[in-house]
A = this chain, B = another copy of it.
């Protein structure tokens, strides 16, 4: 499948939807990718099955504080320079690239590198969403080593890493990102085709384009978008989609702690006395509670849409007074495995409760307000 510049706007919108509040605003990455694909022509998007078992495929993307990329704009040259630096470092060429995460700008970075190098992008990613730390990717959970890996900064400075532990790699790369200005491009977790087939969250790039298309064609509030979204998710590896809340933002706090956006948002209904909805944020929307009752939690997806247009809203874009609809979605089955839960369960983020799936929390037939 060819992915041309015409698909980027839908990809961008869908990637924000799946990013569950994190991943950074993809607008500047979208502009950079648009410029490259208009010049190079479409990039080839291949299903993971098309990879040879011994193909050599690293993950590529940006690492840092999402808010930095609003001020330090991404360069169209960084992804290809980072890929070249990686190839020099390991002494071989790569056969394809794959995203870290489908969320936000990191859905775009691999497209730029692949277009410039004339190699395919594998359709899928290592999170099926956005998550704040590297060890939460499916790749390391499945046993892929994080290194050899390369980080490149805006000035062309390079750092390479060598460690067996992705948790250690995460600490090193996070500190280098801070020293290098807050946002870097990394090429990491090199995999064989065989390895990638065992752990990729498949088809998320094309699915993201599909979600973006629905949001565009059915632009309007949740009464208009919910059913086509539900149909699309029902046929995906995410499964059911649930309406959690509709209301207005009455409180929102956010602080940068340890390189992350840490915060909380409180929503109240427009005109009834339903208890408030609280959302805990660490880059991403992690936990949603109505009163004291958890209604959705990581690794399941929590997405906030503008009430009037259903445009997904990143956590750093939440503002007092916004009228929003909050949706919850099951996560890919991979993240319900024990080995994945060991690194992405609510307790891994410091919450004092065990994961319960959104199906069990919310019930299978959550009504949409105005239709139920």
Chain A residues at the B interface, C-beta cutoff of 8 Å? 85, 155, 157-163, 165, 168, 171-172, 174-176, 178-180
Contacts and interface: CB of A to CB of B under 8 A. Distances in A.
A158 B149 CA distance: 11
Contacts of A158: 161-163
Nearest to A160: B160
A161 B85 CA distance: 12
15 contacts: A155-B163, A155-B168, A157-B162, A157-B163, A157-B165, A158-B161, A159-B159, A159-B160, A159-B161, A159-B162, A159-B176, A171-B179, A172-B176, A175-B176, A176-B176
Contacts of A168: 155, 157
Nearest to A172: B179
Nearest to A161: B159
A176 B172 CA distance: 6
Q: Which of A161, A171, A174, A179 is the most central at the interface, judged by chain B CB atoms within 10 Å of its CB?
A: A179
B157 A172 contact: yes
Contacts of A161: 157-159
A165 B156 CA distance: 11
A145 to B, nearest CB: 12
A163 B152 CA distance: 10
Contacts of A165: 157
Contact of A175 (B155, B160, B163, B175): B175
A180 B172 CA distance: 7
A54 to B, nearest CB: 24
Contact of A179 (B85, B155, B175): B175
A91 to B, nearest CB: 10
Nearest to A85: B162
Residue of A159, A161, A168, A175 contacting most chain B CB atoms (<10 Å) = A159
Nearest to A170: B179
Nearest to A180: B172
A177 to B, nearest CB: 9
Given A159-B172, A175-B175, 12 more contacts: A85-B162, A155-B163, A155-B168, A157-B162, A157-B163, A157-B172, A158-B162, A171-B179, A172-B176, A172-B180, A175-B179, A176-B176
Contacts of A172: 157, 159, 176, 179-180
A102 to B, nearest CB: 27
Nearest to A163: B157
Nearest to A181: B171
A68 to B, nearest CB: 15
A171 B158 CA distance: 13
Contacts of A159: 159-162, 172, 176
Nearest to A177: B175
A133 to B, nearest CB: 14
A81 to B, nearest CB: 12
Contacts of A179: 171-172, 174-176
Nearest to A88: B162
A168 B176 CA distance: 11
A339 to B, nearest CB: 23
Contacts of A171: 179
A163 B151 CA distance: 12
Contacts of A157: 161-163, 165, 168, 172
Q: 3 smallest A-B Cβ distances: which pairs?
A: A175-B179, A158-B162, A157-B163
Contacts of A178: 175
